[in-house]
Amino acid sequence: MKTKLILFVMFLLAVFNTTYGQKNITVDFSTTIDTVKDLLGGNLLFDNTASLLHNEGLKIIRSHDFHHSLDYSDYSAFWNSNGSGNYTLNMSFDPENPADYFWYKADSVISFIKNNSFDIFFRIGVSYPNPNTPPLPPYDPPCNSSADNLNFSRFASLCKHIIKHYNNGWDNGQNDSITYWEVWNEPGGLFWNGSVLQFYKMYQAVSDSIKNYAPNCKIGAPGAVPSTSIGVHTAYREGFINFCSQNNLPLDFYSWHLYGYKNPYGIKEIADTIRAILDDNGYTNAENIISEINSSLDSTLDTLAISPYGAAYYLSTILTAQKSCIDKLFWYPSCVGIRDMATGDTIHSRVYYGMTCFHNLQETTPVEVPNDGDIVVDGNWDNYETNFMVLSSKSEDNQKFSVLISNLSSNVDSVVLNLHGLPFTTNDTVKITKQIISSNYIFNTEETVVTGDSVITINNFNCPNPGVLFYQLEKRTTTSTNEMVANTNIDIYPNPASQNVNIIYSCNKKESCNISIYNMTGKKIKTIFSGNLQQGKHKFVWNVPGENNKIRRGSYICTIQTENGCITKKIIIN
């Protein structure tokens, strides 16, 4: 009898797990929620990464940790330095005098960012100490003198002249129309050696000075650390916002940082707390900005970037920001997923492709619609928790439709999409594009064609866990089914191979094309072709022996990137 009971319990558990393993998701495209937010930015910008960051949807770069160029002590004579990190106030510094500024390095970095088509989120303050490149920046409060340590009028004037230089051409400056000006960075950490009151007074002087000169600029602070291993420093959260409110100070945004979070949806609780404090103090229009965020700041980022878990982790973070009161989110550093931190090599990782999916959705289908797909846990940002998130949207003309799924940590291994409110009829042919990021695929694209209807059901019995699924639907009008298949035709042989690999690609019109080979970590091994192709069939050859024994046995990914999207195929070398 006991054995039968155990078997019956095991049967019930099996039934429960099977039921829970399949997730039914209903999407209503006839109803709208909001516009998908254009919220992504990053810290730092490296050579050869700009185009990839744009592909990920990053539009703005924060000017933090550009060592020896964008700290106020780098481009002004505010401090006297002995070159080893010891500073004394330069009492002869005149913020009105162009001779007391030296902009060359700062101008070069700002021009580099602008020339790569990014907006700038200008951090006024100092960078993280880099012992490899002395001198270290000054962390003492930039007060007028040690005897007058609550007076920051000279520093406030300096800040005004930074804006004059970069927005209005003062002192042979630029006209960059920089909107966001963040005062300081992590005063609750190692970046501020002064008192809390000194920080408040410094912000008061700077905000008044900037707003009196440039009222349309957005000013905010403090790049706080309300939730890291340092802990919640309420003096720079509740205390700071309350001080601003009591003294009627401008606060266009409140910025904060977060590292080491395990549950992406848990960051919503922090954002909600900050939003409530801002609202209670009358700052209902102030933006809620995470100016630094990541899982860590060490070599584990490279391991995370190439994994399907990493793709879902970053995507779930973005979807949480989209579904919460977060207005902007800046990765630190910006290059996670596209640049190996150890070697500096450019890579196309799973994280990179996961963010390109979101950017594709945001650009082509920016109108968010409701769904019932999320499986999330509130709070517990620092704990490992279940996370399965869905974002659904459509184009403004109601012709293209998207469903983006991030399966970070759940029991879901198959999904059924029930898509309602579609404008299709049975006379329409609908193309469904599925892109998948999983343990088997860095990034794979599949296309199918179905008969249209107002309700379409899509079954996916192999939902990546962890991983990412991205569906897009649109009506086929000018291209037949056969033409569509030909336009995405790729044939690779022999496969597996040990000698030359033949890559056959057919296109039905002239198009630009980039064909590359990547290893399974996402590092580019070789560019096979980059240029324009005429209509027809084209043959390319990857000469494996010609790689001088650099190609080892194993799996590789061939990507064909065109203006219509990216096609990937696995190649096995034996």
Asked whether the predicted pLDDT for residue 500 surpasses 60, the reply is: yes
Q: Which residues pair with 220 in a beta bridge?
A: 182, 253
540: exposed, middle or buried (C-beta count within 10 Å: 0-12, 13-18, 19+)?
A: middle
Average pLDDT over residues 444-452: 91
- CA dist 339 and 308 (Å) reads 17
Q: In this structure, what CATH number is given to the domain that contains residue 265?
A: 3.20.20.80
CA nearest neighbour of 92 among 139, 144, 142: 144
Chosen domain end from 338, 364, 390: 364
Q: Does 288 reside within a domain?
A: yes
CA nearest neighbour of 289 among 314, 266, 259, 258: 258
Q: Does 387 reside within a domain?
A: no
Same domain, 121 and 249: yes
Q: Tell me which DSSP letter residue 253 carries.
A: E
Same domain, 486 and 353: no
- CA dist 386 and 208 (Å) reads 45
> For residue 111, what are the contacts with CB-CB under 8 A and spacing of at least 6?
174
**Helices within 256-330 (DSSP H only):** 267-280, 300-305, 308-322
Same domain, 341 and 488: no
Q: In this structure, what CATH number is given to the domain that contains residue 532?
A: 2.60.40.1930
Domain that holds residue 569: 480-574
- Structural domain tally of the chain? 2
Q: Does 29 reside within a domain?
A: no
Q: What is the pLDDT of residue 13?
A: 37
Q: Tell me which DSSP letter residue 551 carries.
A: P
The structure tokens listed for 347 are 């890579």
Classify 410 as helix, strand or coil. coil
Classify 526 as helix, strand or coil. strand
Chosen domain end from 364, 391, 410: 364
CA nearest neighbour of 459 among 430, 420, 419: 419
Maximum distance among all Cα pairs of the chain, rounded to whole angstroms:
94
Identify whether the C-beta of residue 431 lies closer than 8 Å to the C-beta of residue 473: yes
- CA dist 513 and 246 (Å) reads 59
Provide DSSP, 139-162: -S---SBTTBTT--HHHHHHHHHH
Q: For residue 545, is the peptide bond before it cis, meaning its omega torsion is within 30 degrees of 0? A: no
Q: Does 441 reside within a domain?
A: no
Q: Does 467 reside within a domain?
A: no
Q: What is the pLDDT of residues 313-370, one digit of tens each?
A: 999 999 999 999 999 999 999 999 999 877 888 899 999 999 999 999 999 999 999 9
Asked whether the predicted pLDDT for residue 17 surpasses 50, the reply is: no
Same domain, 262 and 120: yes
Average pLDDT over residues 282-303: 95
Please name the amino acid found at residue 172. N
Same domain, 360 and 487: no
**Where residue 20 falls among pLDDT bands split at 50, 70, 90?**
low
Identify whether the C-beta of residue 412 lies closer than 8 Å to the C-beta of residue 375: yes
Please name the amino acid found at residue 404. L
Q: What is the pLDDT of residue 477?
A: 61
Q: What is the pLDDT of residue 5?
A: 42
Q: Parallel, antiparallel, or unpaired for β 287-294 and 328-331?
A: parallel
Q: What is the pLDDT of residue 476?
A: 81
Q: Does 393 reside within a domain?
A: no
Same domain, 489 and 356: no
Please name the amino acid found at residue 202. M
Asked whether the predicted pLDDT for residue 549 surpasses 80, the reply is: no
Q: Does 287 reside within a domain?
A: yes
Q: Does 412 reside within a domain?
A: no
pTM: 0.84
Chosen domain end from 364, 389, 422: 364
Identify whether the C-beta of residue 236 lies closer than 8 Å to the C-beta of residue 196: yes
More confident site: 406 or 552: 406
Cα-based distances in Å from 252 to 77, 196, 389: 29, 21, 30
Same domain, 358 and 485: no
Same domain, 216 and 356: yes
Q: What is the pLDDT of residue 521?
A: 66
